[in-house]
Amino acid sequence: MAKYQKLVDEIRQQIASGVWLPGDKLPSLREQVARSGMSLMTVMHAYQVLESLGTLVSRPQSGYYVAPQAEFLRQPEAHQKVQLAESVDINTFIFDVLQATRDPHILPFGSAFPDPDLFPQRALMRSLNTVAHSMKPEDALNNLPPGNEALRKTLAQRYAMQGIAVAPDEIVITNGAMEALNLSLQAVTEPGDWVVVENPCFYGALQAVERLKLRAVAIASDPQHGLDLDALREALSRWPIKACWLMTNYQNPLGCSLSDEKKAQLVSLLQEKGAFLIEDDVYAELGTDGEHRHPARYWDSQGTVLHCSSFSKNLVAGFRVGWVAAGRHAAKIQRLQLMSTLSTSVPMQLALAHYLTSNSYDRHLRALRRSLAQRKMLARRALTRWLPPEVNINDAQGGYFLWIELPPDLDAMQLYYRALARNISIAPGKMFSSGDQYANYFRFNASWAWGDEQEQAARILGELIRTLLDEQQKRLLSQP
């Protein structure tokens, strides 16, 4: 093959795979010569051939650009929407559900994140701006684990105001609550150990159990009363449980919270048995009934509870800053973090520390809770209007999820795929359980502003559920 042809093929391949998009300026002749070791003549020849093929256009005094028509060269993207397969790997499925919520054409009722329009974007960006003007090079090294000192102090103060004694040194700043939870679980377990999760629960807990090669007992939680403490007591007697990963407030996906009494009992039960509680409290600030609920950590003074939370669900999306109040486990968690991600982004830590000391976070939270309560009410009303009466909508006193129960034997996965084909995403119950108990449930994110499009979506969901009911009816009738 002639040398220039090699370069021609290479560049066409690069355009096909998206390295250069239509309109992009290609490296100059000089740069190509320098990097390829080819002669100027060869490179010029290749560019001219590409121009004659219509792949590139040259602009005098400027250089070579990818032609607008070159789009046809791009390989068709793999079809993005998930397909119903006979056997679905649940992690792949969860991944697909999360990916689908990113498509701007799809209404993200399956998303786990609240509407970012509810967050104080301007104040946050002012803080980021301040960091951009004041950050010093050495700050990078001063904020390695356990993380920014001012931020940890502010968090400790917020704990203090709740009557919880947490020293700044017990707090480790993490890449979101997800890392806090994962590192906490890792810190108190070894592969093969037994742990307790809820059923249903946040899929992250199930994935962590799998990834850390733990053995899990799933304890039933109820939309009204939360975790069944008697079942937990029994599990603690039967298995050598090392840790429980639980959401005590506004549980995902149910929305339920444990009563103060149950939290106190939970802590003393775990202390008695020598098991740890990884407390996932990311919705702590989102109580929409005006009540503040303590975490179980409030009743612990023995280092039983590792309390994990973040700013991602109530202040800012995408900063990826969370924390764990880890007590005596703080040093171990720092070491684990140094081995896995090294540290949390420093400008992000500084920006949050700045926001928290120069704005009223609590005032924002009050406004956020009001908006969420309002939006959830509108969503619930619309769904009540459009979904068949056989559908049961569980609403909680906090957070932004509705937990929706379809009639028995109706498959929420079927509903998921059909809704997605209509550009509506939901989160099927299967994502939140290793068993099949919640196959007829789905989680509905009600944090979005409710308008015509949303109303229309509720109507479509109603239609789709009625169709599923009809099909079920026909199947039953056709049976001998």
* Binding residues among 211-250 for a copy of itself as defined by CB under 8 A: 211, 213
Is-contact 326 156, C-beta < 8 A? no
Between the CA of residue 52 and those of 6, 28, 58, 113, 344, what are the distances in Å? 16, 18, 10, 49, 50
The bridge status of strand 215-222 relative to strand 194-199 is parallel
Of these, 341, 359, 437, 472, which contacts a copy of itself (CB under 8 A)?
341
The nearer residue to a copy of itself, 59 or 136, going by C-beta atoms, is 136
Does 138 help bind a copy of itself (rule: CB under 8 A)? yes
Does 359 help bind a copy of itself (rule: CB under 8 A)? no
DSSP 344-383: --HHHHHHHHHHHHHS-HHHHHHHHHHHHHHHHHHHHHHH
Please choose, out of 12-20, 48-56, 384-392, 460-468, the segment that lies near a copy of itself by the rule CB under 8 A. 12-20
What distance in Å separates the CA atoms of residue 310 and residue 280, rounded to the nearest whole number?
A: 10
Instruction: Please report how close the Cβ of residue 449 comes to a copy of itself at its closest, in angstroms.
Output: 12
The nearer residue to a copy of itself, 249 or 344, going by C-beta atoms, is 344
Of these, 2, 41, 84, 160, which contacts a copy of itself (CB under 8 A)?
160
Q: Which residues inside 101-130 make contact with a copy of itself, applying CB under 8 A?
A: 101-102, 104, 108, 111, 113, 116-117, 119, 121, 125-126, 128-129
Instruction: Please report how close the Cβ of residue 110 comes to a copy of itself at its closest, in angstroms.
Output: 12
Does 340 help bind a copy of itself (rule: CB under 8 A)? yes
Distance linking the first and last C-alpha atoms of the chain:
70
Of these, 2, 41, 53, 132, which contacts a copy of itself (CB under 8 A)?
132
Of these, 42, 55, 175, 394, which contacts a copy of itself (CB under 8 A)?
175
φ, ψ of residue 463 to 5 degrees: the values are -55, -50
Q: Which residues inside 188-207 make contact with a copy of itself, applying CB under 8 A?
A: 191, 204, 207
The nearer residue to a copy of itself, 131 or 391, going by C-beta atoms, is 131
Instruction: Please report how close the Cβ of residue 358 comes to a copy of itself at its closest, in angstroms.
Output: 14
The nearer residue to a copy of itself, 203 or 386, going by C-beta atoms, is 203
The nearer residue to a copy of itself, 53 or 338, going by C-beta atoms, is 338
Among the listed residues 68, 33, 61, the one whose alpha carbon sits nearest the alpha carbon of residue 47: 33
Instruction: Please report how close the Cβ of residue 90 comes to a copy of itself at its closest, in angstroms.
Output: 11
Does 131 help bind a copy of itself (rule: CB under 8 A)? yes
The bridge status of strand 194-199 relative to strand 241-246 is parallel
Please choose, out of 80-88, 168-176, 221-229, 240-248, the segment that lies near a copy of itself by the rule CB under 8 A. 168-176
What distance in Å separates the CA atoms of residue 35 and residue 447, rounded to the nearest whole number?
A: 51
Helix (H) / strand (E) containing 199 = strand 194-199
Does 23 help bind a copy of itself (rule: CB under 8 A)? no
Instruction: Please report how close the Cβ of residue 392 comes to a copy of itself at its closest, in angstroms.
Output: 29
Across 66-76, b (16+ Cβ under 10 Å) vs e yields bbeebeebeee
What distance in Å separates the CA atoms of residue 53 and residue 60, rounded to the nearest whole number?
A: 18
Give helix 176-188 / helix 203-211 axis angle, nearest 10°. Answer: 40
Q: Which two tokens stand for residue 363?
A: 């005032």
Does 72 help bind a copy of itself (rule: CB under 8 A)? no
Say how many residues touch a copy of itself, by CB under 8 A: 91
Instruction: Please report how close the Cβ of residue 353 comes to a copy of itself at its closest, in angstroms.
Output: 14
Cβ atoms within 10 Å, residue 39: 12
Of these, 2, 5, 10, 40, which contacts a copy of itself (CB under 8 A)?
10
DSSP symbol at 407 = S
What distance in Å separates the CA atoms of residue 103 and residue 108, rounded to the nearest whole number?
A: 8
Among the listed residues 472, 34, 452, 429, the one whose alpha carbon sits nearest the alpha carbon of residue 200: 429
Does 345 help bind a copy of itself (rule: CB under 8 A)? yes
What sign does the dihedral 101-102-106-111 (CA atoms) show? positive
Q: Which residues inside 32-51 make contact with a copy of itself, applying CB under 8 A?
A: 35-36
Of these, 41, 165, 367, 421, which contacts a copy of itself (CB under 8 A)?
165
The nearer residue to a copy of itself, 94 or 270, going by C-beta atoms, is 94
Q: Which residues inside 309-338 make contact with a copy of itself, applying CB under 8 A?
A: 316-321, 331, 334-336, 338
Please choose, out of 11-19, 47-55, 371-379, 395-403, the segment that lies near a copy of itself by the rule CB under 8 A. 11-19
